[in-house]
Amino acid sequence: MSMSASPREVAMLSASPSEAPSTAGLPLHSGADVHKIPQILPRERVFPIQIGGELFKLSGASLSSDAPSYFSQYFLCQIKVAESKGEDPSSTIRTLYIDRDPKTFRDIALHLQGYHVKPRDGTHFVRLFADAQFYNLPKLISQLNEESIFMSIGHREFQIPRDVLNDPANSPNYFSLGFALFFSQPNDLFPGLDREGLIRPPSILPPSVPNRNADTFAELLRLLRGYPVSIRDENHRQELLRDARYFHFKGIEQQLVPHSISYNPLRQIEEIALRLENVQKSGVSISSEESDGASRSSNRHVKYARPYVDNKPAELVLEIGGTTAKFVFSAEGVRAEFFGGTKARVARLLEVVATKLNLPPTTQPLGLLMASGGASSQPATPGNTPLSEDLVRVVFEAESSIILNGEDYEADLSNYEAEDATPAITPDTETPVNPRKRRRTGESIDIGLPHEGQEWAVKTGQFRLRIQESKSGKSAVECVFVAVKIDAVSSERGRNKTRKFLSD
């Protein structure tokens, strides 16, 4: 008389791989336990598994080496049912049929037999990973989670070691937030699908980013590995920067931004020259007070360290280009007016500096800000900060290098006062009062000090940002732009002189 299996036993025998017990939270073997095979199935017994049209015969030791899995649970269930019926398990073991790819299973069988299986490409990786999930093989899943990332960039396949992408300066990034996160969530590998009763997993395409340039990514990968990349021109730099931002490689981005770090032996200080648009809030700091013996005043300078890259800050030499500023010479000295996006960036930078000095970032009344929608709704202008007026104070030093209208400008503007300047030529007079002759020495030119009201269009300027006692009374301190190197034009004719014809 044959014994019929209980409904629960039948359900266990007919279960699909996706219904096998979850392996979430399963402790991984480590150290001395890594080579130990648990006693789940009889080690010497052979169990038949047919994958597609190919029959595989694996020992109980092999099936138990990565368990609990669908295979171990399936055959263990058969053995227990046979024992409960008093039958010989060796004669009642049935072949397990699974309609999957036998080629992929050959590699899985090698893994179960103790061989290391390494994915060959992206397609091989996703097939191994999907079937490892389908069969609930915890060790293989863990191994694949530590393998290199396979990614197609611009229709070229890359194999990226995970340790390269785990550098703190460049993570989290596109890959750790996308690829690695997706392939490290065994409980939700197929979001939106009910694993209960799942006959087979959905097809998975190898990860790809077709809209990026493969050559550019290869150079970024070289930088990630610590090798230098020669920047051919500005277009090449912008391509690298654009893709570094796309893939969220923040450390690489900071390495690529145009900059110059050098030690100034005359001032005995480290300096970093950086463009205004590349200044990050997190890199700004303020130096300690520096005593000025002549005036007995304390000055401080804005310092900067590139985030994720520099270990210590250096004195910031801020570069502003694009002819987005002009100098206005007046009775109050020299002031700089900024335009467009440069004006907003200067204002934001001064807000950051004010915050570093424990000052409020804006001088606008709180009630007015609340009525108008907050500080973010206000126009970004230096005058809204406690460190400056709308026209930023500019200070020239004797060491300031000036190129005016394409020629070296030798006049000393370090103690510029409008009343000492060369007066303007009016229509009624051909020569100014107290005129200075135009002197030329070699390639330099001295046309005297600018007269009151004169304006210079600044093509490119480099400035130090100095915090000093305020002269305006707006707050206790102000931020002045100390000219380091200036390339400017003093008239429309000077600007036209520097124009270039469009290339053919």
Other Cβ atoms closer than 10 A to 351: 22
Separation between Cα atoms, residue 147 and residue 56, nearest integer Å = 26
| pLDDT beyond 80 at 6 | no
pLDDT interval class at 456 (50, 70, 90) = very high
Identify the weakest region by mean pLDDT among 133-147, 202-216, 331-345, 438-452.
438-452
Burial environment of residue 337 by CB neighbours within 10 A (0 to 12, 13 to 18, 19 or more)? middle
**Would you state the pLDDT for residue 207?**
86
CA angle, 331 then 335 then 338, to 5°: 150
73: left (phi over 0), alpha (psi -120 to 50) or beta: alpha
pLDDT grade, residue 32 (50/70/90)? Answer: very low
Is the model's pLDDT at 96 over the cut of 70?
A: yes
Q: What is the pLDDT of residue 500?
A: 87
Q: What is the mean pLDDT of residues 123-140?
A: 92
Question: Looking at the domain that runs over 1-23+35-147, which CATH code has it been given?
Answer: 3.30.710.10
Say if residue 296's pLDDT is above 80.
Answer: no
| pLDDT at residue number 10 | 38
Residue 74, C-beta contacts closer than 8 angstroms, at least 6 positions apart: 13, 15, 96
The pair of three-digit structure tokens given for residue 266, joined into one six-digit string = 């005359």
pLDDT at 166 over 50: yes
User: What are the domain boundaries of the chain?
Assistant: 1-23+35-147, 154-186+202-256, 264-425+437-504
Return d(Cα 126, Cα 132) in angstroms, integer: 10
Encoding tokens for residue 17?
A: 């791989």
C-alpha–C-alpha distance, residues 112 and 106, integer Å: 10
Distance CA 190, CA 183 (A): 10
Pairwise pLDDT comparison (466 vs 440), residue with the higher score? 466
**Does residue 468 register a pLDDT over 90?**
yes
Which pLDDT does position 116 carry in this prediction? 95
CB 82, CB 44: distance < 8 Å: no
- pLDDT for position 292: 56
pLDDT-derived band at 182 (thresholds 50, 70, 90) equals low
- Assign 289 a pLDDT band (cuts: 50, 70, 90): confident
Does the structure show a pLDDT above 80 at 179?
no
Cβ pair 206, 183 in contact under 8 A = no
Peptide bond into 48 cis (omega under 30): no
Residue 395, token pair as written in the block: 């200070």
Per-residue pLDDT, averaged over 408-422, amounts to: 73
The runs of H, that is alpha helices, within 334-426 are: 340-356, 366-372
How far is Cα 206 from Cα 166, in angstroms, rounded to an integer? 21
**Between these two residues, 462 and 437, which has the higher pLDDT value?**
462
Name the band, by pLDDT with cuts 50, 70 and 90, for residue 186.
Answer: low
**Burial level of 34, CB count in 10 A (0-12/13-18/19+)?**
exposed
Crossing angle (nearest 10°) for helices 138-145 and 122-134: 150
What residues form DSSP beta bridges with 285? Answer: 303
The tens digit of pLDDT for each residue in 352-374 reads 999 999 998 777 664 444 445 55
- Tokens 């009624």 found at: 428
